[in-house]
Amino acid sequence: MSATATRSPTGSTFNEINNQANYHDEFALLTDSGIVAKDGEDSERLMYQAAHYELVASAKAVAIGHAINPRFQIGCMIAMVPIYPASCRPQDILLAHKAMEKRFYYADVHALGAYPSNIRALWQRRGWEMDVTDDDLKHLTEGTVDYIGLSYHMSKAIKWDEDNSHYDFREWKDVVRNPYLSASDRGWEVDPVGLRYSLSWLTDRYGLPLFVVENGLGAYDKVEADGEIHEQYRIDYLREHIEQLKLAVDEDGVDVLGYTPWGCIDLVSARTGEMDKRYGFVYANKNNRGEGNLHRSCKDSFFWYKHVIETNGEEL
């Protein structure tokens, strides 16, 4: 697999910073970045304000890192979940476009050093006075990233409703089942082609190298009587996604710095606090009830992925 080799030390700032875009007024929001927006009329504005402070902090970190060593490759990290229109109805297409704007303006700021006009227009429409200073904007301009890191696990489809005259992104209400895709045990739709689409979309938008830092399948793995774990479904998932990554590199000209799956060992889910949802190649003997001794054992996918590494992705 031909891909750009890592040319210098790499690092990243905030993890999946854009997951807070899944904002919903009816519940408090805890994001992967650690930001909590309380319930109330002002909570959505507070989420955007907190995100702004994160973006400024990220830009400052990038600038400091480059001052320490100009060879450092410092990137951002976004949760890449492409959002498709549920049909070719123009309203569905526009809503999907607006949803992508709202989910990925974070990458716009990281990569381009300024807020896109659509987000500023949203703030103005809501009548929000945001704490965004000239000094903040200067930091954003001076601290743009060298590459874009992304997690990719699924895609979503979205359908417009007549009560949404502003085409606001309302994931909790407007996301619908995609009839062309299967779903994981978690209900996440499995979309390998969506990874290729995402890599091409990000390349067209930003023209920066990309780093797939998360890609994996959460499933309820079964331990057989002999202690073995046969999860061909995970091998199939990863194989199909890596195949699409190779096509993005070889046929679409995408510059990929690297690929790392999520994850290498079963661990406690950061979002739900459970162990039974497993991503790893290595099984950790512990369940949601706290039973088990954490003994590690290799799943079938461990030996498969070991060979993938040994052949640099040429033999899947």
Active site residues: 16, 214
Residue 79 is encoded by which pair of tokens? 């949760």
235 residue type, one letter: I
- Bridge partners, 157 (sequence order): 84, 176
Give the pairing of strands 156-158 and 36-37.
unpaired
Judge contact between 38 and 291, C-beta under 8 A: no
Q: Please report the beta strands in the chain, taking only residues with DSSP state E, as ranges in sequence order.
A: 10-12, 29-30, 36-37, 73-79, 83-85, 147-151, 156-158, 175-176, 182-183, 189-190, 210-214, 256-259, 282-284, 296-298
DSSP 3-state of 214? strand
Report the distance separating Cα 214 and Cα 200, nearest Å. Answer: 17
CA 135 vs CA 113, 123, 172, 204: distances in Å: 13, 19, 36, 30
Q: How many residues does the chain have?
A: 316
Judge contact between 235 and 221, C-beta under 8 A: no
Residue linked to tokens 């200067």: 138
